[in-house]
A and B are shown apart, each in its own frame.
Chain A
Amino acid sequence: MVELAIRNARTAEAPADPLEVPALTPGAMADSKPYPASAEHQEKIGFPGELVEDWKERAIDKLGDLVGKSRGLRVYLDSCVKCGACTDKCHYFLGSGDPKNMPVARQDLLRSVYRRYFTFSGKYFPKLVGATDLTEEVLDDWYSYFHQCSQCRRCSVYCPYGIDTAEISMAAREILDTVGRGQKYCNEIIGKVQTIGNNLGLQEKALRATLEDLEEDLEDETGLEIKLPLNVKGADILLVTPSADFFAEPHVDGLLGYAKVFHQMGESWTISSYASEAANFGMFIGSYENMRELALRIRKAAEELGVKRIIFGECGHAWRAAYAFLNTLAGPFDFLDQHYPIPQHICEYTYDLIEKDALTFDKSKNDHIRLTYHDSCNVARGSRMGDTPGGQFEIPRAILRAVCNHYFDMPADTIKEATLCCGGGGGLLTDELMDIRRKGAQPRMRALQQVADEHGVTHLAAICAICKTQFAKLLPEHGFEMDSIVSIHQLVSNAIVLDGQISDDDDDDEDDEDDEDDEDDEDGDA
C-alpha cells in the first residue's frame, strides 16, 4: 500500500497512452547494429566466416531460393498494398520513431530488392515501384534493421493479408548469414547448443551441480526432498526448459515451481543434459537446417531416455518452435504416449491439475503481490495452449488467478493477440542492442504504468526467458524493483501446498483469507 501511494504520487500527470505514435525521425536507429559473428561461430553452423566476394550474386540467389521454398515469403513480398495499417503497430517504431521500423518499411528493405531482381515491374520500371539494386548500403540497412525486429508478429495481426514481418526478417537474416554477415549473439549460441546442449554452454557436470544446489534450497525451504532429476533413463516426462531457468534470476524460481508441482503429483520426470535447452535460435536466423538440428536433439534425448512425454518449461519463442514446429522438424513422435499433447506446455500441465482440483494453493502467500500478466509475443501469436484457440491467453491467466488474489489485466490493446513484445525477443537480447531494446520496451512499460496507477500493480508475470531477463534489466529504470518480474511457476511455487511441507506461518494464513480486497477483485476479474 505504501508502495502504491508512492507510485501514485510519482505519476500525478495523466498516464501516457501506451500506444502513442511518435513523429517520424528518419535515421534515428540507423546506427544500431549487433556485433558480427566471428568466423569461427559462422563456420560452425554452416555459414561463411566473412563477407564472401560474390556476396551480391549469392544474396540474390539465396533470396530466389527462399522465395521458391516458402509460400509465405512469396505471398508476403508480392501482396503488400502499402495500405499503412501496420505502420503504427511495431513497438520498435513506437519507441524510436525511426520510419524504417514501421513493419511495411522494414519489409520494403527486402521487398525492393526482390522487386528489382524477380519481378517484371521491378526489372523494367524500378523507379516506379520502388525497386532498388542490391548494394552495400542496402546490405548494411538489412543488417541494422532486420536486427531491430523481434519477430513478434504483432504487425501480422493487423495486416489485411496477414503479412508477417517476422518471416521476412528471418529470410533476410538467413541471406545475411549465407553471405557471411551473421550476428554474433544468435550464431554463437546456436553453435553452443549443437556442441554442449544449451544456450549457456552449461556442461553436464555444471548442470548437475547446479541442480543439486537447487535441491538443497528446496529442502531448506520445504523440508521435503524435492528432486531436480537429471538424465534419468526411463522417466515418464522429459522436461525441456530454457537454460536460463538453471542460471538466471528470476527464472530459477520458475524451475523450482515446476519441480514442486511434479513432486506433489509424484511424477517421474527428468531433465536431459543433451537437450538442456528449450529455445531454438535457429528460428531467429530463419535457418530451417539449424532449427532442425536443434529440434532433433530433443527427439534424440527423448528416445534415449525412453520417456513417454515431453513437457516444455516457460519460454516464449521456444514454445512457438515446440508447439508449431517440433512435430514438423523432428517428428513423428509415435514413440511417445499419444494420450498427451506432444509437446505439452508446463502451463497446460499445471492448468489440467488445477481443473481436476489436484493441487491445493494458499493464495495468501502471494498477497504481497498485485499482479498483471505480460503475454509473451511468440506464445500469444505463434502458438496455442489447450484445445481451443486463445487457450494461450486463458490458461496462464487461469493459473495466475488460482494462485494469486490480486490480478489485473493491462489495457486490452496491449495484451493477448495485441500484446507487445518485451523489446528483447528474436535474437535482440544482447547488450550492444540495449538502445533499441530500451525503446522497444517503452509501450509495454507505459501499459504497465497504467495498471500500476489504476490498480497499484506491483508485479508482472511472464512465461518467457527473454521477457524475464529483459524486464529484470529494464523495470528498475521505470521505478519498479528488479524482482517485480516473476515466472508464473514462481507464483505457483509460492502458493502451492505440498503434502508434508514444513510451514512457517500456519496460523496467520487463516485470517488472510478474509482479508481479501473485495473491491479490487471485482476489477481484477473484469
Chain B
Amino acid sequence: MLTITYALLFYLATLVLIVGVAHRIWQFARTPAPLKIPTAPAPVTQGGVVLRLLREAVLFESLFKANKWIWLFGWVFHFGLLLVLLRHLRYFTDPVWSWVVLIQPFGVYAGFAMVVGLAGLWARRLLVPRIRYISGPSDHLMLALLLAIGLSGLGMKYVFPTDIVALKAFVLGLMYFDWQPLPPDPILLLHLGLVALLMIVFPISKLVHAPGLFFSPGRNQVDNPRERRHLAPWAAKLETGGRS
C-alpha cells in the first residue's frame, strides 16, 4: 500500500514537474518581446549573451554586485543543491556513472552547504526588516520545505541510516515500471514526500525563476537595435494599418 502510494505520488509529481515546467517555458517562449530592453551595458553579439547568461546562472553575477551576503548564502545553497542532486543520480543509474561516483564525497559536504545556505537566507528573511517586509508566507514555507528536505536527508546519512539498497531498488523499479517495496522508514518517507511536494509546487511557484532567468529580456537580448530591426508580430500588424 505504502509502495503503491509513493509510486503513484512520484509518477504524479514527475508528470506535474515536467508538464508544468514545459508549459511555463512554452509560455515564456511564445510571448513576444515587443521592444529591445537589454539592461545596458549589454553584449552586442549572441555569443556575448550566452556568456552573460552563463555568468548569471553559474556565478550569480548581478546578485554579487547587489549584495554579498545574499550572494554568498544563495550561491552556497544552489551549488550545494546542484551537487546533492547530482549525487542522487546514483539512485537512478545502475551501474552508477563513473563521474557520479567521483563526486560522491563532495556531495556529502554539499548537503551541509545547502542547509547552511538556506539557514542564512532564512535568517536574513527574518532579521533584515526590508526583506521581512517583502516576504510572504509562501516565501518562508519554501525555505522550510527545502530545509526540511535537506535536514531529513542529512538525518538519514548521519543519524538514522536507512536501507539504501532497498531504496535504490524502489527507485529503479519506478523507472522501469517494475515496482519494488519501499522501506517503511519514517524519515525516508518524510524526505520523499517532501521532495514530491517540491516537484509539484515547482512549476506553480516562484521556483520558475530557474527557467525565467534565461527568458528575461533584460539579460537575454543582444544589444543591436540600430543594426537590426526588432519587431514583434503583434506590432507588425499595426504597420499594415498604414503609416500616418
Can you report 11 A-B residue pairs in the complex whose CB atoms are below 8 A from each other?
A: A21-B130, A24-B133, A70-B33, A71-B215, A75-B216, A80-B209, A84-B131, A85-B62, A160-B209, A324-B37, A328-B229
- B31 & A69 in contact (Cβ 8 Å cutoff): yes
Query: Is B36 part of the binding interface, using a Cβ–Cβ cutoff of 8 Å?
Result: yes
Interface residues on B, range: 35 or more
- A417 & B40 in contact (Cβ 8 Å cutoff): yes
In B173-189, the 8 Å CB interface with A consists of: none
Docked pose: A328 CA to B63 CA in angstroms: 31
Docked pose: A177 CA to B232 CA in angstroms: 23
Complex partner residue of B40 from A160, A328, A341, A384, CB under 8 angstroms: A384
Shortest CB-to-CB span from A264 to chain B, Å, is 26
9 interchain residue pairs of minimum CB distance: A162-B218, A79-B212, A158-B66, A389-B41, A130-B136, A84-B131, A85-B66, A87-B130, A71-B31
- A161 & B230 in contact (Cβ 8 Å cutoff): no
Given contacts A83-B74, A159-B218, 19 further A-B contacts (CB under 8 A): A23-B129, A76-B216, A78-B206, A79-B209, A88-B130, A104-B134, A105-B134, A128-B141, A156-B39, A158-B66, A162-B216, A162-B219, A288-B34, A288-B238, A325-B225, A328-B230, A343-B226, A381-B40, A384-B40
In B13-66, the 8 Å CB interface with A consists of: 24, 27-28, 31-37, 39-44, 48, 56, 60, 62-63, 65-66
Binding site for A on B (CB under 8 A): 24, 27-28, 31-37, 39-44, 48, 56, 60, 62-63, 65-67, 70, 74, 121, 124-125, 128-131, 133-139, 141, 204-206, 208-209, 212-213, 215-219, 223, 225-226, 229-232, 234-235, 238, 243-244
User: A83: which B residues are within 8 A, CB to CB?
Assistant: 63, 70, 74, 121
- B36 & A161 in contact (Cβ 8 Å cutoff): no
- B60 & A160 in contact (Cβ 8 Å cutoff): yes
Number of A-B contacts (CB under 8 A): 218
Docked pose: A14 CA to B30 CA in angstroms: 54
User: A158: which B residues are within 8 A, CB to CB?
Assistant: 62-63, 65-67
Query: Is A234 part of the binding interface, using a Cβ–Cβ cutoff of 8 Å?
Result: no
User: B138: which A residues are within 8 A, CB to CB?
Assistant: 121, 125, 128-130
Query: Is A147 part of the binding interface, using a Cβ–Cβ cutoff of 8 Å?
Result: no
Docked pose: A162 CA to B110 CA in angstroms: 28
Shortest CB-to-CB span from B92 to chain A, Å, is 28
- A69 & B232 in contact (Cβ 8 Å cutoff): yes
Docked pose: A66 CA to B62 CA in angstroms: 27
- A108 & B134 in contact (Cβ 8 Å cutoff): yes
- A323 & B244 in contact (Cβ 8 Å cutoff): no
A292, A296, A389 pick with most chain B CB within 10 angstroms: A389
User: B130: which A residues are within 8 A, CB to CB?
Assistant: 21, 24, 84, 87-88, 99, 102
Docked pose: A94 CA to B66 CA in angstroms: 15
User: A76: which B residues are within 8 A, CB to CB?
Assistant: 216
Using an 8 Å CB-CB cutoff, how does the interface string of A53-79 with B read, 1 for contact, 0 for none? Answer: 000000000000001111110111011
- B62 & A75 in contact (Cβ 8 Å cutoff): no
Query: Is A483 part of the binding interface, using a Cβ–Cβ cutoff of 8 Å?
Result: no
- B212 & A78 in contact (Cβ 8 Å cutoff): yes
In A455-493, the 8 Å CB interface with B consists of: none
- B32 & A69 in contact (Cβ 8 Å cutoff): yes
Docked pose: A78 CA to B211 CA in angstroms: 10
Query: Is A81 part of the binding interface, using a Cβ–Cβ cutoff of 8 Å?
Result: yes
Docked pose: A390 CA to B223 CA in angstroms: 11
Shortest CB-to-CB span from A64 to chain B, Å, is 12
